[in-house]
């Protein structure tokens, strides 16, 4: 800001916004000691995204960004990483390689290669089978079902319309997360896992036995099959 001749008052305001920040943690009514924040911008502040974008704009590597989720692509750490005082979380550094390699040392810490890379919540394996991603979203969807069980179980007094609304708003988005990346290329067995979870949930909501026709359940609820739903959403987003 000084190099670009910003007004002095703006420079001082920005400096005050970023410097001398502290934090403390509370656990069971007990407070930790006050610690200083050495890097980063205040979360939730309107100015923070703009400052973050300015601070990282001159990094000479390929980047992908979504809000504050940033991924850097480079064959090695660029010298600007350290010269610009950009803090890199070593646990977030991953490699993509066909052959196992020796551990990579980052800031004195050895980091082993990972066969699965997580980008914006989507897990990518080296063959792009999305097996781990499907397992992850089905596990999260099952957790959501358990959380909402008192409302959507077979004996719940909640109206079926509201139960289905809860499924469409709180469970199906988790189950189908990342569909633009995997729809159309994953194996049929993975799609069936998503469909099976939807079938089981709908039968619980309608209080129907496990052996009842799945086609009838979908016709009664007017919900599309998972594959049809993903295809429709994909077309809508084109």
Note the pLDDT tens digit of each residue in 34-69.
988 887 787 778 888 888 877 777 776 677 766 667
Nearest to 226 by CA among 115, 159, 138: 138
- As a whole-number percent, the residues of the chain with pLDDT over 70 amount to 78
- The predicted structure's pLDDT at residue 218: 95
- The predicted structure's pLDDT at residue 80: 46
- The predicted structure's pLDDT at residue 89: 55
The answer, yes or no, to whether residue 111 has pLDDT greater than 80, is no
Question: Cα 116 to the chain's mean position, in Å?
Answer: 14
220 versus 236: the higher-pLDDT residue is 220
Q: What tens digit of pLDDT does each residue of 149-195 get?
A: 999 999 999 999 999 999 999 999 999 999 998 988 899 999 999 99
Q: Would you say the C-alpha torsion 143, 144, 145, 148 has a positive or negative sign?
A: positive
Specify burial of residue 171 (Cβ count, 10 A radius: 0-12, 13-18, 19+): buried
- The predicted structure's pLDDT at residue 44: 79
DSSP string computed for 8-49? HHHHHHHHHHHSS-EE--EETTEE---EE--S---TT-TTHH
- The predicted structure's pLDDT at residue 87: 56
d(CA 6, CA 141): 50
Question: What's the whole-number mean pLDDT along residues 210-216?
Answer: 93
146 versus 77: the higher-pLDDT residue is 146
When pLDDT is cut at 50, 70 and 90, the band that residue 115 belongs to is confident
Question: What's the whole-number mean pLDDT along residues 56-83?
Answer: 64
- Mean pLDDT value across the chain: 83
Q: Where is average pLDDT lowest: 44-48, 126-130, 131-135?
A: 44-48
Give CA separation, 155 vs 159, 181, 217, in Å.
11, 37, 18
């Amino acid at each position: 800001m000084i190099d670009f001749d910003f007004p002095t008052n703006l420079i001082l305001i920005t400096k005050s916004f970023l410097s001398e920040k502290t934090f403390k943690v509370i656990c069971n009514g007990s407070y930790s000691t006050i610690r200083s924040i050495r890097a980063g911008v205040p979360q939730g502040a309107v100015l923070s995204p703009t400052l973050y974008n300015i601070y990282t704009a001159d990094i000479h590597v390929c980047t992908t960004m979504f809000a504050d989720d940033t991924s850097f692509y480079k064959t090695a750490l660029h010298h600007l990483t350290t010269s610009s005082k950009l803090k890199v979380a070593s646990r977030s550094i991953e490699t993509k390689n066909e052959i196992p390699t020796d551990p990579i040392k980052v800031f004195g810490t050895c980091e082993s290669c990972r066969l699965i890379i997580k980008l914006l919540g989507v897990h990518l394996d080296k063959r792009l089978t999305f097996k781990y991603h499907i397992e992850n979203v089905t596990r999260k969807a099952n957790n959501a079902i358990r959380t909402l069980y008192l409302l959507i179980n077979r004996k719940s007094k909640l109206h079926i319309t509201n139960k289905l609304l809860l499924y469409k708003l709180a469970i199906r988005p988790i189950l189908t997360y990342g569909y633009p990346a995997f729809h159309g290329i994953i194996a049929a067995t993975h799609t069936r896992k998503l469909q099976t979870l939807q079938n089981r949930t709908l039968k619980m909501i309608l209080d129907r036995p496990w052996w009842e026709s799945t086609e009838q359940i979908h016709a009664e609820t007017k919900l599309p099959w998972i594959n049809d739903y993903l295809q429709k959403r994909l077309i809508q987003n084109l």
